[in-house]
Amino acid sequence: MLRNKQIGFLGAGNMGEALIHGLLHGHLCRPEQIICSDVRSERLKAIREQYGVKGTSHNVEVVKQSDIVVLAVKPQIMKQVVEEVAKSLDLSKLIISIAAGVPLDAIEACARKELKLIRVMPNICVSVREGVSAIAGGKHATKEDLMMAKTIFDSVGKSLFIDESLLDAVTGLSGSGPAYIFLIIDALADAGVKVGLSRDDALVMASHTVLGAAKMMIETGEHPGKLKDMVTSPGGTAIAGLHTLEQGGVRTTLINAVEVATERSKVLGAMMKNNLTNHEK
Ligand SMILES: NC(=O)c1ccc[n+]([C@@H]2O[C@H](COP(=O)([O-])OP(=O)(O)OC[C@H]3O[C@@H](n4cnc5c(N)ncnc54)[C@H](OP(=O)(O)O)[C@@H]3O)[C@@H](O)[C@H]2O)c1
C-alpha cells in the first residue's frame, strides 16, 4: 500500500523517529521513500545515519517531495509550521497530524485551504512498537487514505478508527495511560520491597506481570473479568488481594483518572484551537 508513496515527516523527534523506525522495521517502505525535516541539525544527522532516510532543514522541501506528510512537531508550533508549508499543500497530498489537542479544522484554518487530513492520537509506546493509536479522518480523507494511515500506525503497534469528537477520551485513556501503568508498576515494586524482595527483582516481577497479563488477555481474547476469575481460587491469596484493592477504590480511582484527564484534554484543546485560529488580520 505504501510501496509507491513518498512519506515526509515534519519534525524528527521522538514520534517522528518511532514512526520511521516502525515503517522500516516492518518493511513497509524503503529508506529512500522517507524524508524528514527538523530544526536540529544534529538530530537530522543522527536519523539520516541510523535509518538511511533523507533529511533536510527545509520543511517546504519535505512537503514538495511527499505524497503523505506527517505533522510531527509540537502542538505549540503547529500554526507556524502549517503556515510555512501551506503553499505546497493541496488535495493531492494526505496530511496526517499527530499533534495532541490540535483539531482538524484548526489545521485547515492555518493552511487557509481544504486538505485531505487525518488526525491520529498515538501514545508513547509506539517507541517500542507497542503503541495504540486512534485514527480520525477529516472530511476529504478517503477510505484508502484511512487505510494508509492505519498501515503506518499498525507498524508501531495497534491502531483503530474513531470519531474525532472522541479523541479527548482517547487522550484520557491510552494517551495518558502509560503514566498510570508506570505508577502501578512502581507501586507494585514498592509492595514487593515491603514484603522482602529486592528492588530489582520486584521491578522485573511487576513489569512482566503487567506485560504478561495484557498479552494473555489480548491473545486469548477473553474478557479480563473472566481471566480474573480464573486466577482467584476460593479462600486464596488473589481474592484476598483483590478485596483490598476494591476497598481502596482502585476501580473508581482509575475511572476518575481517565475522566479528569479527558476533561483536561478538552480544556487544553480549546486553548490550542483558540491560539491556532487566532489569525492576525
Ligand atoms: N511523545 C508522546 O508521547 C506523544 C503522544 C501523542 C502525540 N504526540 C504528539 O506528537 C508530536 C511530536 O511529539 P514528540 O514527542 O515527537 O516531540 P519532539 O520529540 O519534541 O519532536 C518534535 C521535533 O520537531 C522539531 N522542531 C521544532 N520546530 C520545528 C520546525 N519549525 N520545523 C521542523 N521541526 C521542528 C523539534 O526540535 P526542538 O526540540 O529543537 O524544538 C523536535 O526535534 C507532538 O505534536 C505531540 O503532541 C506525542
pLDDT tens digits, residue range 194-227?
999 999 999 999 999 999 999 999 999 999 999 9
Burial label, 61 (beta-carbon count in 10 A; 0-12, 13-18, 19+): middle
CA of 209 to the centre of ligand 1 (A): 32
Burial label, 225 (beta-carbon count in 10 A; 0-12, 13-18, 19+): exposed
Tell me which amino acid residue 20 is: I
pLDDT of residue 281: 42
pLDDT of residue 269: 86
Residue 13 cell numbers, joined: 523527534
What class has domain 175-266?
A: mainly alpha
CATH topology agreement for domains 7-163 and 175-266: no
Q: Whose CA is nearest to atom 28 of ligand 1?
A: 39
pLDDT of residue 3: 85
Domain 7-163 homologous superfamily, CATH: NAD(P)-binding Rossmann-like Domain (3.40.50.720)
pLDDT exceeding 70 applies to what percent of the chain? 99
Of ligand 1's atoms, which has the minimum distance to the CA of residue 126? 3
Q: Whose CA is nearest to atom 5 of ligand 1?
A: 123
Mean pLDDT in residue range 157-171: 97
User: Band of the pLDDT at 273, cuts 50, 70, 90?
Assistant: confident
pLDDT of residue 279: 56
Mean pLDDT in residue range 143-148: 96
Mean pLDDT in residue range 129-136: 97
> Residues with Cβ within 6 A of ligand 1?
10-16, 37-40, 43, 59, 72-75, 77, 81, 98-100, 121-124, 175
Residue 45 phi/psi, 5-degree rounding, is -60, -45
pLDDT tens digits, residue range 85-125?
999 999 999 999 999 989 999 999 999 889 999 999 999 99
pTM of the model: 0.94
Q: Is residue 151 scored above 90 in pLDDT?
A: yes
CA of 11 to the centre of ligand 1 (A): 6
Of ligand 1's atoms, which has the minimum distance to the CA of residue 123? 5
Mean pLDDT in residue range 127-144: 96
In the chain, domain spans: 7-163, 175-266
Q: Is residue 264 scored above 70 in pLDDT?
A: yes
Q: Whose CA is nearest to atom 24 of ligand 1?
A: 11
Q: Is residue 280 scored above 60 in pLDDT?
A: no
Report the residue among 56, 73, 80 best suited for mutation to probe ligand 1: largest number of ligand atoms under 8 A from its CB. Answer: 73
Mean pLDDT of the chain: 95
Of ligand 1's atoms, which has the minimum distance to the CA of residue 14? 16
Q: Whose CA is nearest to atom 1 of ligand 1?
A: 124
pLDDT of residue 230: 96
pLDDT tens digits, residue range 67-80?
999 999 999 999 99
CA of 74 to the centre of ligand 1 (A): 4
Q: Which of 50, 141, 40, 53 is nearest to 97 (CA)?
A: 141
Mean pLDDT in residue range 248-276: 92
CA of 73 to the centre of ligand 1 (A): 4
